[in-house]
Amino acid sequence: MRDVLPQDLANLFSERDRMVVDELRVVENETHIPSENGERIFAASSFPIYDSEDTVTLIGGVSFEITDRRRAEEAEHRQSQKMELFGQITGSVAHDFNNVLTVLCCNLPLLKSERITPEKQQKLINDCIDAAGMGSNLTKRLMTIARKEALTKTSIELNTLITDLVDFLQRSVTQQNVSIDVALSETRLPVFVDVVLVEMALLNLVINARDAMPDGGIITISSGQAIIDETTEADWGTAAPGRYAFVQVADGGVGMAPEIKKKIFKAFFTTKEKGKGTGLGLSAVQDLARESDGFVQINSEPGKGTEVKVFLRSRRARRDNS
């Protein structure tokens, strides 16, 4: 087996066969095999084969590819996250569109007045153009998040992406008396990511931070770079040594007890009351970290707020390792 398969797969199959022999039972597992077009996923079962004296003489097995099924499940899962996001931001977006309509409804009738000065007329026109632009940007942002497409990774500068998103994030929390501060690294942070995954992860983290501060407060979004070594710990994912870019969302909210922190990455786990959340939010953060060869760290204490830091392999590090 070791002469035919890569070392890691040979070790996996040997361990599986050992379990079959030691425990005399069917062993099922899912195997991920790298390929030119990404991972291929196989479901496999191994089982003991007995001779006439009830002694295990062979190990049998069946395996079939489930790559397409897993990809479809992942796509459906992401779509569920998106629908939850829409539910979370509906009120804020409706408020913003109402502001757009208010500007247009107030300014357009005034433009028909014969007594308005050219200067005032130009200002009213500019206000209408700005309002229409805000409405257009809101629509584009919503359509981008809602798109039902496969992941599309691209090289992008992380700070630029965050800056472009800040206004939209602020609109998602303004009604709750929450403001957003931004402290971005002065160093360029090139990453290779799907832009929608970044937007979904940040929007989820900001909404979670908002909900953790029912009396209002400040959410801080920061970025930077880090060199990770073998001593670095991760709350989700694997902190493999190398160069990373990171984005952090911090709040001054209620925080989490250690027993809650251990559960937050479980699907459908939520501390919010019924109807306020499905528990899918942090899976968006997991998706971003996973697709970016990264990991997640969380620092939180009851009454002292929460910091969630998502590490993404820097574009330079990915080139060096390829």
Q: What's the CATH code of the domain at 159?
A: 3.30.565.10
226, two tokens: 């880090």
96 CB-side CA count, 13 A: 25
Alpha-carbon span 175 to 111, nearest angstrom: 31
Confidence band for 275, pLDDT divided at 50, 70 and 90: very low
Most confident of 76-80, 108-112, 267-271: 108-112
The average pLDDT across 240-263 equals 91
For residue 271, count other CB atoms closer than 10 A to its CB. 16
Flag whether 1 is in a domain.
no
- Is the predicted pLDDT of residue 149 greater than 70, yes or no? no
- Both 183 and 198 in a single domain? yes
- Both 13 and 123 in a single domain? no
- Both 24 and 160 in a single domain? no
- Both 29 and 130 in a single domain? no
- Both 96 and 22 in a single domain? no
Write down the pTM of the prediction.
Answer: 0.60
Of the candidates 183, 157, 306, 166, which has an alpha carbon nearest to the alpha carbon of residue 245? Answer: 157
- Both 60 and 85 in a single domain? no
H or E segment to which residue 19 belongs = helix 7-23
**Low-confidence winner among 61-75, 265-279, 300-314 (lowest mean pLDDT):** 265-279
- 303 against 38, higher pLDDT: 303
- Is the predicted pLDDT of residue 308 greater than 60, yes or no? yes
Identify whether the C-beta of residue 318 lies closer than 8 Å to the C-beta of residue 293.
yes
The phi, psi pair for 209, rounded to 5°, reads -65, -40
The average pLDDT across 21-31 equals 86
Confidence band for 200, pLDDT divided at 50, 70 and 90: confident
65, 88, 109 — which closes off a domain?
Answer: 65
- Is the predicted pLDDT of residue 4 greater than 90, yes or no? no
Flag whether 136 is in a domain.
yes
Flag whether 280 is in a domain.
yes
Provide the residue count of the chain.
322
* CA-angle at 214, arms to 213 and 215, nearest 5°: 90
Alpha-carbon torsion, ordered 151, 162, 300, 177, to 10 deg = -120
Flag whether 303 is in a domain.
yes
**For the chain, what percent of residues have pLDDT higher than 70?**
76
- Both 220 and 298 in a single domain? yes
Confidence band for 52, pLDDT divided at 50, 70 and 90: confident
Flag whether 2 is in a domain.
no
The average pLDDT across 308-319 equals 78
The pLDDT score that the predictor gives to residue 88 is 57
Domain extent for 132 = 71-321
Of the candidates 68, 69, 24, 70, which has an alpha carbon nearest to the alpha carbon of residue 46? Answer: 24
Residues paired with residue 35 on neighbouring β-strands, in sequence order: 38
The pLDDT score that the predictor gives to residue 146 is 62
Confidence band for 322, pLDDT divided at 50, 70 and 90: very low
Alpha-carbon span 181 to 170, nearest angstrom: 9
**Low-confidence winner among 81-90, 103-112, 301-310 (lowest mean pLDDT):** 81-90
Alpha-carbon torsion, ordered 142, 145, 147, 148, to 10 deg = -140
- Is the predicted pLDDT of residue 22 greater than 60, yes or no? yes
- Both 13 and 115 in a single domain? no
Flag whether 83 is in a domain.
yes
- Is the predicted pLDDT of residue 45 greater than 50, yes or no? yes
Q: What share of the chain is helix, strand, coil (3-state, %, to 5)?
A: 45, 25, 30
The pLDDT score that the predictor gives to residue 245 is 96
- Both 267 and 284 in a single domain? yes
The pLDDT score that the predictor gives to residue 317 is 46
**Low-confidence winner among 36-45, 157-166, 242-251, 252-261 (lowest mean pLDDT):** 36-45
15, 32, 65 — which closes off a domain?
Answer: 65
50, 65, 80 — which closes off a domain?
Answer: 65
Domain count, the chain: 2
- Both 24 and 148 in a single domain? no
- Both 135 and 22 in a single domain? no
What is the chain's alpha carbon radius of gyration, rounded to the nearest angstrom?
A: 25
- Is the predicted pLDDT of residue 294 greater than 90, yes or no? yes
Most confident of 94-103, 216-225, 261-270: 216-225
pLDDT, averaged across the chain = 80
- Both 47 and 82 in a single domain? no
Exposure b/e, 159-173, CB count within 10 A at least 16 = b: bebbeebbebbbbbb
Alpha-carbon span 144 to 156, nearest angstrom: 16
For residue 315, count other CB atoms closer than 10 A to its CB. 20
